[in-house]
Copies of this chain bind each other. A is one copy, B any other.
């Protein structure tokens, strides 16, 4: 008997038939004696339907009310899944974020979990019931509904698994695990049986989109064994674990991640005085915009160019903020480029091996791709390039580092 937290995303609960299939799987676990908590997202399409209603009424809706609106999506799913379990004689009980309860801060649409009071859920499990929990949502100290931001249901699942000290947190999705890179871009992409939290963090943050980065952080921090697997096919998926399996043949590079949702902003001609980076990046971060790559170059004339990348959706807001700061700092101007992408090599094996970076740069040069920005960390090397070269870069690197299916 194990305590399992299962999370099903929007496509996995996208229709009445899919919800029934989820109920069938949950029943199999219950029948074999497991205790099961299920975390679900809104049915696919539902969030967009609600957003369309909202934007038809107010193009800048108050974030508190946006959370009230969007949280109905998961509420519908928990009710329907509980009904589907009930019709299979599996006693089940639905929980809203406010009922679990999942206490968050007050940052509407981007709330962070502060605490989970899992007593009601534990009481249900003790009685042999399945607890069906709405993902993505929480409640602040004042009782206002909050949401955790895109992909927040993964975070909900991992946070509950941590709070309940679950044996495994299973993330069911429409892919069957984590691949060396996106199979839609590279035919020969291969399924990874396991990956470390560190590698997964880099893969997720760089755009592999299988799991939300906060969920992986949470899982790593609380050492929750996390498994990504398909709700459409049988299979073991990918286990995200603390330690890399001691595989003699383990490749240096575990995967190639990429992200085309980035945009670049350059504040040009800033007088090069201490604290410039902070003065520019600070206000952007304060506006809750995640800044990714940051590069600063000093020019010959004593000024400096400060370059950073943000999510493409945030580029106009970032530009507005940067222009105010640029004017205060007597910078020359602010330029943006929305046609960029980021491609990264990720691998724990890179730590102890030199020469990976130069092989990466050579591979890209050989196919004529110009590198615009470079950043490195212990287990990844990222380059920012023109967006149109993205597929070419990923395919070339996947092959060059021996990740293609036929080569492994």
| Residue positions of A touching B, CB distance < 8 A | 16, 19-20, 50, 53-54, 56-62, 64-66, 68-69, 71-72, 75-76, 78-80, 82-84, 86-87, 93-94, 96, 98-99, 143-145
* B50:A65 contact, CB within 8 angstroms: no
Choice from B58, B68, B79 contacting A68 with Cβ under 8 Å: B79
**With A68-B75, A75-B68 in contact, do A80 and B57 touch (Cβ < 8 Å)?**
yes
* B76:A80 contact, CB within 8 angstroms: no
Neighbouring B residues of A144 by C-beta, 8 Å: 99
* B53:A82 contact, CB within 8 angstroms: no
* A62:B86 contact, CB within 8 angstroms: yes
Nearest-neighbour CB distance to chain B for A67, whole angstroms, equals 8
Neighbouring B residues of A145 by C-beta, 8 Å: 96
Complex Cα distance, B75 from A98, in Å, reads 14
Complex Cα distance, B65 from A19, in Å, reads 15
Neighbouring B residues of A84 by C-beta, 8 Å: 57-58
* A57:B94 contact, CB within 8 angstroms: no
Neighbouring B residues of A66 by C-beta, 8 Å: 79, 83
Neighbouring B residues of A62 by C-beta, 8 Å: 82-83, 86
Complex Cα distance, B96 from A96, in Å, reads 13
Neighbouring B residues of A80 by C-beta, 8 Å: 53-54, 57, 65, 69
Q: Which 10 A-B pairs have the closest CB atoms?
A: A69-B79, A72-B72, A58-B83, A68-B79, A58-B87, A61-B83, A16-B56, A65-B82, A65-B79, A57-B84
Complex Cα distance, B64 from A93, in Å, reads 9
**With A72-B76, A99-B143, A143-B99 in contact, do A65 and B83 touch (Cβ < 8 Å)?**
yes
Neighbouring B residues of A61 by C-beta, 8 Å: 79, 83, 86-87
Complex Cα distance, B85 from A172, in Å, reads 39
Neighbouring B residues of A60 by C-beta, 8 Å: 87
Closest to A145 in B: B96
